[in-house]
Amino acid sequence: MIDKEDTIHQELAAFMLATNHLSPQALLAKYGSGRAIYYSDEMNEYQKICHHYEEVGALIQAGYIDFDLYYQIEVFPDYFWAKTTDLRQLIRDNWDGKGRPLPDFLKNFERLQRQYQKRR
């Protein structure tokens, strides 16, 4: 898992450098749905990052990974979380097309973020 974290940090850096210009509304106009945005080639790094932390959050929730241990060895990507708030919300609210949400989109990633905030 630690080796995977190094790869994710590289993905985070690449995504943050490449996406200063991204407009969530422009992405929705281009792709038509949150699902299409999330799985697009253009958002490959975003999808990998989100999937990783969604998976970690689910494993912690299920008890397969101890949160205290994970907290001690891994830094939460606060800047990424804050910078992608609008994008995350747009994808969630329009998953199956405009106005057709997926309410639990990235719920485990969000739970992990809350756990980090509470712990700090």
- The 10s digit of each residue's pLDDT in 30-73 is 999 999 999 999 999 999 999 999 999 999 999 999 999 999 99
Find, among 112, 91, 111, 115, the residue nearest to 103 by Cα. 91
Residues 6+ apart with CB under 8 A from 38: 46, 47, 50, 91
Determine contact, residues 92/106, Cβ cutoff 8 Å.
yes
Give pLDDT tens digits for 14-40.
787 777 677 999 999 999 999 999 999
CA dihedral 91, 32, 15, 62 (to 10 degrees): 30
Radius of gyration in angstroms for the set of CA atoms belonging to the chain, rounded to a whole number: 14
Residue 6 has pLDDT above 80, yes or no: no
CA distance 91 to 87: 6
**Mean pLDDT score across all residues of the chain:** 92
Position 22, amino acid: L
CA distance 44 to 39: 7
The sign one gets for the Cα dihedral 27, 31, 35, 37 is negative
| pTM (two decimals) | 0.88
Determine the pLDDT at residue 14.
79
